[in-house]
A and B are shown apart, each in its own frame.
Chain A
Amino acid sequence: MLIENIKEAITSIFSNKMRSILTMLGIIIGISSVITITTIGSSIKSTLNSTFNSLGGSSVTVYVDARYPETDEEWDTWEYPEMEKEDYITQEMVDELLEAYPDEFTGIVSQSSYQSGKVNGEDGKYANINSMGVTAGYMEYCKLDMQMGREITSADSNGAKRVCLVSDRMVNNYFGEENPLGKSISIDFADGTTADFVIVGVYEYNQVVFGKEDTSVAEKDRYTTVYLPIGTVFEMTETENNGYDYLDFTVDPTSDIQQATADATDFFSKFYEKNEKWTIEAYNMQSELGMINTVINVITVAISAIAAISLIVGGVGVMNIMLVSITERTREIGVRMALGAKAKVIRMQFIIEAIVLCLIGGFIGIAIGILNGVLLGKVAETLIQSMYSDYASYIVMSVHPSVRAILLSVFFSMLIGVFFGHYPAKKASKMEVIDALRYE
């Protein structure tokens, strides 16, 4: 019965193509605008998400933070405390956490800023540097590409080896054409100490990671970063516990990052319960991303709602055409009733016809909307990439229509069909057989 009704509805819609299309126009415009908007919205969202992820979005950052005073009076006399040896997060704690939650945390990435300094060579050659201790996997985590040599390994760190990674820019300025790998550089640190390091790798300088350059200084004098094994930095700072004040845990992509963040907070807080000056904070990029996503969602929904108003106009058009159609087909209704169609069957037939009309309009609207969204997404992608060409490789523009919006549109088209088809259908089913048969 249902299939026959749908077939009949399609026949009757197609027997009046022009009129059906004009009727559907309102629905088509409404649905396509909603889909266009939601497609753009969800594309922006997924672009942000994947860009964030490519910049280390799936990690939990844990750091030791001061316990801030709670009252105004306390604030007046409060000073940021000095960190003692026992205030740092120890390697033992980290290992314990990794053991306790093997499904969530896959490893750590940490950095420990060390001093700035100057590399002095023969013939007055020099280079300004900042030094930083990092764990194995740090380069990958920061999306820094190696140009030659190797990265820092755990062996470097555990053995506190005197090795380092330098940037291609420093190599250009300092070594020129010479191969830097295996060369030893001597760094005079700001505190007056000097240490020698063997260059094991050269990384590509990347603006996204290091921020905008200070162009007021000559290229030659600009600071670049030299990466040292974190263990080496610990040794040089004489942090016996190999303590961290700031570290990132890489998180298994299949696990819930919010849960992981909460677990990390709970885990480390245990160790700081009795510490009066310091406590543990943990966060992930995703919760910030969540806020941005919420804002985009609100905007998308608001604009969609405005676009959806045209759906009501479309619905009224459908209702109008259904009323015309029912008047035109009064005889047919009479014949069907004379042949035994019950009132509810007649009602069903016309409601289904209205639904099919709206659904066809809805599907056309969805198709147009997806097309619009994809085109606009591509335009946005090219625009962004030409505007921020330095970041281009970080902007992963993914245009995909929002599945939820599509399902919702289908559902909404049906709803419009039911709502605006109901009155005409009811009117048809209320006809008296003999009057309908005699209608001219």
Chain B
Amino acid sequence: MSEPVIRMENIIKRYYEGKPNELQILNGINLEVNEGEFVSIVGESGSGKSTMMNIIGVLDRQSEGKYFLEGKDVNLMSDDERSAIRNNRIGFVFQNFNLLPRANALKNVMVPLMYNPNHQKNRQEKAMEMLRMVGMEDRATHRPNELSGGQKQRVAIARAMINDPAIILADEPTGALDSKTGHMVMDLFHRLHEEQGKTIVLITHSKELAQETQRIITLSDGNIVGNKENQNYRNVVEERKALSMGGEA
């Protein structure tokens, strides 16, 4: 078996460390996600899903334990190396989109390229290509406040994809959307997974959406209490294909 994309060993996360009000949120998480997998994380509110995801996305640091991303120990990296990882190994999709308010859709998609020293040419074309992929090319010059929630999230996904990351991390990407737009966004993830073989980790509160992923990890009070292959996945994918074909016809 080749090295998993994500490998967490006994990850513990504490807030207010060393203070009387110390809080332990993650109690020794062990997790592996292999290349090309589409995994969902579920669990009740406050169970530590976002905390774990932020560590996976190198936005936060664990208090204890080891985290290997593509076989490399993230904890041993310098700040600049961590920045580079965030820039081109990870595509993060947030619940609240986190687009830059003053920049238009195209500029927003280009931001990660700006920070990528290996990709200085044809940035505009590349960003346009990404917008086309998410079906937003006709909104390239719109600012975020001129876009609907679903459109914003599509722009955010285009931005997450532009540096061709190893994994896509999505923390409740459909949380702020109605179920129809949520499904559209999910379609996008399926396409990235099926067509480009992207590894995707998705946090969701929706049982229905979790059923669309290959593996469902359940978190409770900072512990992984469930980690099982989703037998339904194949059926769901077939259903989707049929549906989208029907839709096209």
Contacts and interface: CB of A to CB of B under 8 A. Distances in A.
B84 A340 contact: yes
Contacts of B84: 340, 342
B112 A335 contact: no
Most buried by B among A1, A15, A335: A335
A4 B101 CA distance: 16
B114 A4 contact: yes
A339 B159 contact: yes
Nearest to A334: B98
Contacts of A433: 59-60, 86
A335 B59 contact: no
Contact of A437 (B98, B99, B159): B98
A340 B100 contact: no
B114 to A, nearest CB: 6
B79 A342 contact: yes
B11 to A, nearest CB: 15
B154 to A, nearest CB: 17
B80 A336 contact: no
Interface in A1-36: 1, 4, 11-12, 15
Given A336-B111, A337-B86, A433-B60, A342 B54 contact: no
Nearest to B159: A339
Contacts of B116: 340
A343 B86 CA distance: 13
A1 B114 CA distance: 7
Nearest to B55: A434
A332 interface: yes
Most buried by B among A1, A331, A434: A434
A15 B100 CA distance: 14
B114 A338 contact: no
B59 A341 contact: no
A201 B100 CA distance: 85
Contacts of B83: 337, 340-343
Contacts of A139: none
A15 B101 CA distance: 11
Contact of A340 (B98, B99, B101, B115): B115
A341 B114 CA distance: 8
Nearest to B82: A433
A312 interface: no
Contacts of A339: 86-87, 92, 111-112, 115, 159
Nearest to A332: B100
A337 B80 CA distance: 11
Contacts of B115: 336, 339-342, 345
Contact of A12 (B59, B86, B102, B163): B102
Given A4-B114, A434-B54, A338 B102 contact: no
Interface string B155-178: 000010001000000000000000
Most buried by B among A1, A11, A336, A339: A339
Contacts, number: 58
Interface string B41-77: 0000000000000100101100000000000000000
A9 to B, nearest CB: 12
B176 to A, nearest CB: 16
Nearest to B92: A338
- Contact-residue bracket for chain B: 20 to 34
A437 B59 contact: yes
A31 B168 CA distance: 51
Interface in A303-344: 331-332, 334-343
Given A4-B114, A11-B102, A331-B98, A338 B59 contact: yes
Contacts of B54: 434
A12 B86 CA distance: 25
A352 to B, nearest CB: 14
Contacts of B111: 336, 339
Nearest to A4: B114
Nearest to B116: A340
B88 interface: yes
Contacts of B102: 11-12, 15
Contacts of A434: 54, 59-60
A157 B87 CA distance: 90
Interface string A350-383: 0000000000000000000000000000000000
Given A332-B100, A335-B98, A342 B60 contact: no
A338 B98 contact: yes
A341 B83 CA distance: 6
Contacts of A4: 114
Contacts of B57: 338
10 shortest A-B CB distances, which residue pairs? A340-B87, A340-B115, A434-B60, A342-B83, A335-B98, A340-B86, A339-B112, A434-B59, A433-B59, A341-B115
Interface of A: 1, 4, 11-12, 15, 331-332, 334-343, 345, 433-434, 437
21 contacts: A4-B114, A331-B98, A336-B115, A338-B86, A338-B92, A338-B98, A339-B111, A339-B112, A339-B115, A339-B159, A340-B83, A340-B88, A340-B115, A340-B163, A341-B83, A342-B115, A343-B79, A345-B115, A433-B59, A434-B60, A437-B59
Interface of B: 54, 57, 59-60, 79-80, 83-84, 86-88, 92, 98-102, 111-112, 114-116, 159, 163
Given A334-B98, A339-B159, 19 more contacts: A1-B114, A4-B114, A11-B102, A12-B102, A338-B57, A338-B59, A339-B87, A339-B112, A340-B86, A340-B87, A340-B163, A341-B83, A341-B87, A342-B79, A342-B84, A342-B115, A343-B83, A433-B60, A434-B59
